[in-house]
Amino acid sequence: MLKVGIVGGTGYTGVELLRILAAHPEAQLQVITSRGEAGTPVAGLFPNLRGHVDLAFSEPNVERLAECDVVFFATPHGVAMESAGELLGRGVRVIDLGADFRLKDVPEWERWYGLEHSRRDLVEEAVYGLPELNRAAIREARLVANPGCHVTTVSLGFLPLVQSGWVDRASLVADSKSGASGAGRKAAVPTLLAEAGESFKAYGVTGHRHLPEIRQTLATAGGAEVGLTFIPHLVPMTRGIEATLYARIDGDAGDLQALFESTYADEPFVDVMPPGSIPETRNVRGANTCQMAVHRPGGGDTVVVLSVLDNLVKGAAGQAVQNMNIMFGLEETAGIDGIALLP
């Protein structure tokens, strides 16, 4: 039984991580930290966990965390890089759900996140936690950088195309829409019901932190840099991401449906739908699944991929547990093979 610790479990990603781990057959929650909620029972803050999680939040304590086999950081950027090194030095494996170790270009990270990175050595060591791309490296990793939610949705949709060489990789377009939980649990005017309800808007149009991460992921997959226009949007729902992806065919392309089906044939958490399908976010609500469909409108030279997932599960906590399973040689689907909620 794995001993599991969580640093910073009071946000939406944290409670989703707790929900999944509480039912995991091979994991035992040992400690969950929060400076602001220290002493508060977890079930007092999150009543859905009554009878499932008996822990109380505690002040961060390296000694207690060092007793764990794996520690998840569900914290804002800048936190994990200050604490992960000591845990790694004590033999604890670390999965960071934040952004501290995602970008290999440290100056680029500092530009997007507005901080000086204090552990460049760990950036070099960290393995990017997209299992469909890096499963073998994740298996041996001490430190895994869990991908961003938009990044997972967009990257999985584009991967078969950039790997095949059938499209112009210099002119990719991603139009991605996310529910309000993607902004976190903090109180903020833009995500108040009266502000976000019955409305639909783009954000981060001049630049979004997930842009360099998607570019890095696709460049790794395709072996060459990509040109990408990425525009995220806020939609008035709680969970889910839908990404509509566009790529221009470059030369002769083969059977797109067969390409996607063969790419993901052995992937337990990628569902390639039949030709003509339209994935919906409700199809994957609460599940660790990325569902997608590929189209070629009018038989023209544009490929359209529709990709959906639950931003809190396959886009965050579920994928983190998937990485944990791989790292410790467990069944990859353990604890995350639940069926989506419908309606």
Q: Which residues are tagged catalytic?
A: 149
Q: Residue 234: name the closest of 279, 186, 193, 183 by CA.
A: 183
Cα–Cα distance, 133 to 145 (Å, whole number): 13
How many Cα atoms occupy the beta-carbon half-sphere of 299 within 13 Å? 0
Q: What residues contact residue 129 under an 8 Å CB cut-off, 6+ apart? A: 95, 138, 144, 145, 146, 147, 319, 320, 323
Residue 128, classed as helix, strand or coil, is: strand
Q: Which two three-digit tokens encode residue 225?
A: 């840099």
Strand order in the sheet with 241-248: 201-202, 228-234, 172-178, 241-248, 302-309, 290-295, 270-272
Sort 313 into a burial class: Cβ within 10 Å, 0-12 / 13-18 / 19+.
buried
